[in-house]
Amino acid sequence: MKQRLMFGGIAVALLAVVASFAIAANADTQPKGVESDVVALPPPPKDEDVVAKVGDKTLTWGELKQLVAEESALYEKGTGTAIPPQMREAFEQNVRMNQVQYFIETNLIANAAAAAGVTVDDATREAFAKDLQAQTGRTVEQLLAESPYGKERSQQMIEQSMLAKKLFDEVVLKDVTVSDEAVKAEEEKIAAEAKLAKDAMAGYAKQVADGTATFEDLVKANSVVKDPMSEVPETALGQVFPPTAVTAIQATQPGATTPVLDLPGAQAMFKVTARAGASADPEAEAKKAKLEGIRERIVKGEDFAALAKEFSDCPSGARAGGDLGEFGRGMMVKEFEDVAFSLPVGEVSPVFKTPFGWHIVKVTKRDDAAGKVQASHILLKTEDKSATVSVLALVVPVPQASAEQIREGLLAQRKQEVLRTWLTDQLKVQQVQSPLFPEFAAPPAQ
């Protein structure tokens, strides 16, 4: 619900980091000395009561109520449903928290930027627009038009995000670096962890070979993948496993295990628990003959759409008389595509087979310049079963990273640490107060 989230990861390191900057006020909130069973409720807040303060800027209860009302209306408009009464208080409290945090963050950053002489200029805006276009394919104008907050408020939010990013990049995080020594130390740590993982995997393989432990028990105790993969089609193994694993699994008989395999970021062994051969639908030929008869009726003049509605097993039959709409190459299975793109407009194809069953197709429109056709079809499904394999996997992660990846990771970690420290300091320097949510305020003096 936070306003800044509508801009995704485009605008700021702030959006990912500041959410974790709140520091507990350590205030003891338990009532003391209450002798009676009746506890007096605190008076309701007044509209002029301050709920957050950053320097000389304040957010009052009345202003917060207005923001909550706006967010509630936006939610209900966007979802098309009213907030359930039993959920309204929790919803509104969440909005209050987000709005108070957003008020503190944006004003804290704006004040710090002003003190550092950081402003958003045309070059900053151009860089933001270019980054937005590259990451989302959308322009700033499109973003503003799509925002439920309206153009003016959304533009203000973008400006705040750009200011935060510029402040962090040019001032707060400008001198943050990672030494070569730190990268080397991390490389050595990763190498040591990788050796431990590989040694452990070698030990598991020996236990399986010696019969001192069952593969199943080792999976339960040590594998990051514990659930068996049952009846994976042989033709789909490449969608589930990397090539090395596919080759090994295909060469393994039921009840046997593969050798230890080096996979990207892991080592693994696989046990083939079952294998089933392919089987054809016993009614496949009868279904083909039925579709041949339907085709003859169409050729003799009966309506294709009417027969599709009556006989086709494809949802397009009942919904649209078999019309699949317009499609280009690569959108259908190859067997279907080959027929559709070679068939003259208006002709009905011979009966042909795809993995889904038997088809006839009629092309109703062709756009050769765009490489698209529009076609209708009638499908009679077949229940052909492909060969399948069931496997159990013993997978142990093996950490690995290049020096460049390590440096980037350490730099990101260091920047987060520096940013958290800077934010904590700014809470004190700018004397941030948050009576409604004390966890967002400056920590008490030590």
pLDDT mean values, one per 10 residues, the chain (446 residues): 32 33 32 44 83 95 96 91 93 96 95 96 93 89 88 93 95 96 97 97 97 96 93 88 95 95 96 91 94 97 96 92 92 92 95 93 92 94 89 96 96 96 94 93 74
Query: By the 8 A CB rule, do 97 and 434 touch?
Result: no
**Tokens standing for 314?**
């494809």
C-alpha to C-alpha distance for 49 and 43, rounded to whole angstroms: 12
End-to-end CA distance of the chain: give it in Å, rounded. 34
Instruction: List the domain boundaries for the chain.
Output: 3-25+46-174+425-440, 184-279+388-400, 301-381
pLDDT at residue 355, as a whole number: 85
Third-level CATH fold of 301-381: Chitinase A; domain 3 (3.10.50)
CB hemisphere CA count around 206 (13 angstroms): 6
For residue 380, count other CB atoms closer than 10 A to its CB. 22
Query: By the 8 A CB rule, do 364 and 343 touch?
Result: no
For residue range 60-86, list pLDDT tens digits in order: 999 999 999 999 999 998 888 999 999
CA 178 remoteness from chain centre:
30
pLDDT at residue 39, as a whole number: 52
* φ/ψ of residue 431, rounded to 5: 50, 55
For residue range 125-149, list pLDDT tens digits in order: 999 999 988 988 889 998 888 888 8
**Tokens standing for 413?**
């970690």
Q: How far is CA 7 from CA 1, 136, 139, 143, 396, in A?
A: 12, 10, 12, 8, 38
Question: What does DSSP say about strands 388-397 and 266-276: parallel, antiparallel, or unpaired?
Answer: antiparallel
379 by DSSP, 3-state: which?
Answer: strand
| Predicted structure pTM score | 0.62
CA 44 remoteness from chain centre:
41
pLDDT at residue 146, as a whole number: 86
Q: Where are the beta strands (DSSP E) in 145-219?
A: none
C-alpha to C-alpha distance for 124 and 106, rounded to whole angstroms: 18
C-alpha to C-alpha distance for 127 and 110, rounded to whole angstroms: 20
pLDDT at residue 252, as a whole number: 95
